[in-house]
Amino acid sequence: MSSVVAILVACAGSGNGELIGVQDRPVWTPEDPYGMVYIPQGSFTMGPSDQDVPFANVSQAKTVSVGAFYMDETEITNNEYRQFTNWVRDSIIRSFLAKAEPERFAKKYESGDMKGEPITTGNAAAPYKIDWNVNLKLKDADWETEGVGNVRDFLMRNNVYLGDDQLIDGIAQFNTTLYVYSYRVFDVQKASVKSQRISNNGSGEGSGRKDFIHTVEVNIFPDTLTWTHDYSYSFNDPYTKNYFWHPAFDDYPVVGVNWKQANAFSHWRTKMMNQFRRQTKQPTLPDFRLPTETEWEYAARGGYESSPYPWGGPYTRNILGCFLANFKPLRGNYVDDGGLKTIKVASYNPNKYGLYDMSGNVAEWTSNAFDESAFSYTHDLNMDYHYNAENWEDRSLEEDINEVMKRKVIRGGSWKDVAYFVQNSTRTFEYQDTSKSYIGFRCVVDFLGRDKKDFQ
């Protein structure tokens, strides 16, 4: 028996009895995600850089410390967000086709396969999953297959395309009301509180992890009508009809996206990135997410402690008299800064960290709920006040939630705002289920470690 034990110990790679840790672990060499810049850890005075008498109740100053993270160098553009909407559209189309003709549009779903959700078909012995390798000929109105016949007619019967009575000039259009992205979230905040309560009372009650996992379903198509309904007696029809569609606006910041849609985009972006990294045997990245307002302000300041603006000065013009951001200067002379409404991202110089448009162009969603007195009670380490204004137990009661709890912090000011709102420290809010023509977003990713130098 002792010889068997000796053999097992030798095979375990125990390092001759020494504590050497698990061997053959993947090597973590952090690289900046594409389109993102590295923001080092640091401490700063969060809040107004100068006395702010009118808004003193909501603009206190507080010293906070922030861990290192990555942030998108620009706001998410129309073309980047369109990659998300097209992926959702294609997944819906492929699901319909896979159920109708699994032999052509799907692959057998094997036990333990984590690359796709199984599709149960009526004429198959085993569930299937979407086969993303099949080319969709959506622009070909005459595309036919043996299983469904004319594909466009098949999709129109399933309401994927708009019916003839909803078309203009006979141009085929997708039904964007079907663009629903579904994902699951683990409510860390509630789980931590309940775990602490169970631990304290020693009862061991509770059914565990599944109590804190919730399914979120979001229609992710931007509200293109926001250019019209945001304003009265203002002609914005060209933007309403073209802003999200036309190639001329591909590099403009996406707008008409509410807080929930921005979070759904972040989840999808994480899913796409980590699915690729798993396939290529690389360690996964932390989740893409919206920045906390602390992270946002810290990054916007670019290392300048007391400057009211990202460019490091107290004025909105440079020495040549040119405005340094896209906002509403002077007495409403919108075009004096070079833009009438939104403009291409990165049209102005970046701040010291390499971030563009942290002031103006469009305001940006953060992950935090808005509370006027948040600075008074939140922690000074990675300050964060987060509240999910959802009724997970009964979604039908969501409209009964106090509207105040749906307020989310937006930062940076926009093309329609006066100079006060494009300052680093200005806090304001919008409701999480509303979309505006002047609000966009960018993502952040946590840096795993203290500093990039530790991995060089």
Same domain assignment for residues 201 and 57: no
Q: Does the structure show a pLDDT above 60 at 387?
A: yes
Q: Give 64-112 pLDDT, tens digit per residue.
A: 999 999 999 999 999 999 999 999 999 999 999 988 898 888 887 665 4
Are residues 167 and 64 part of one domain?
A: no
User: Do residues 342 and 415 lie in contact, with contact meaning Cβ atoms separated by under 8 Å?
Assistant: yes
| Interval 415-441 mean pLDDT | 95
Which is more confidently placed, 437 or 200? 437
Per-residue pLDDT averaged across 222-251, rounded?
95
Domain boundary among 221, 249, 277: 249
Q: Which residues contact 17 (CB under 8 A, 6 or more apart)?
A: none
CA distance 285 to 34: 13
pLDDT at 398: 52
**98/194 same-domain check:** yes
Asked which of 219, 249, 279 is the last residue of a domain, the reply is 249
User: Over 60: is that where the pLDDT of 115 sits?
Assistant: no
Q: Is residue 256 part of a domain?
A: no
- Say yes or no: 438 and 331 in one domain: yes
Separation in Å, CA 231 to CA 185, 221, 237? 36, 21, 11
Looking at the structure of the chain, the number of domains it has is: 2
Read off the pTM.
0.89
| Mean pLDDT computed over 235-249 | 95
284 and 401 in a single domain? The answer is yes
Strands (E) across 32-91 are located at: 36-39, 42-46, 62-66, 69-72
Residues 160 and 297 in one domain: no
| Residue at a domain's end among 217, 249, 281 | 249
Q: pLDDT band at residue 8, thresholds of 50, 70 and 90?
A: very low
Q: Is the pLDDT of residue 9 over 50?
A: no
Strands (E), 2-115: 36-39, 42-46, 62-66, 69-72, 106-108
Residues 198 and 226 in one domain: yes
Structural domain range at position 326 = 36-74+268-455
d(CA 254, CA 335): 20
Average model confidence (pLDDT) across the chain: 86
Instruction: Please tell me whether residues 227 and 272 are part of one structural domain.
Output: no
Two tokens at 237?
């029809």
% of the chain at pLDDT higher than 70: 85
pLDDT at 211 over 90: no
Distance, first Cα to last Cα, the chain: 48
Read off φ and ψ for residue 225, nearest 5 degrees.
Answer: -80, 0
Q: Using CA atoms, how far apart are residues 261 and 343, in angstroms rounded to an integer?
A: 22
Is 131 inside any structural domain?
Answer: yes
pLDDT digits (tens, 9 = 90+) for 128-174: 688 888 999 988 989 999 889 999 999 999 999 988 888 788 788 89
Task: Read off the pLDDT of residues 288-321 as tens digits, 9 standing for 90 and up.
Answer: 999 999 999 999 999 998 899 999 989 999 999 9
- ∠80-248-176 over CA atoms, to 5°? 55
Considering the domain boundaries, does residue 24 fall inside one?
A: no
- Whether 175 is covered by a domain: the verdict is yes
Residue 377's domain is classified under what CATH number?
3.90.1580.10
Confidence tier at 377 by pLDDT (50, 70, 90): confident
Q: Domain check: are 229 and 333 in the same one?
A: no
Note whether 154 and 289 are same-domain residues.
Answer: no
208 and 289 within one domain:
no
Shared-domain flag, residues 223 and 123: yes
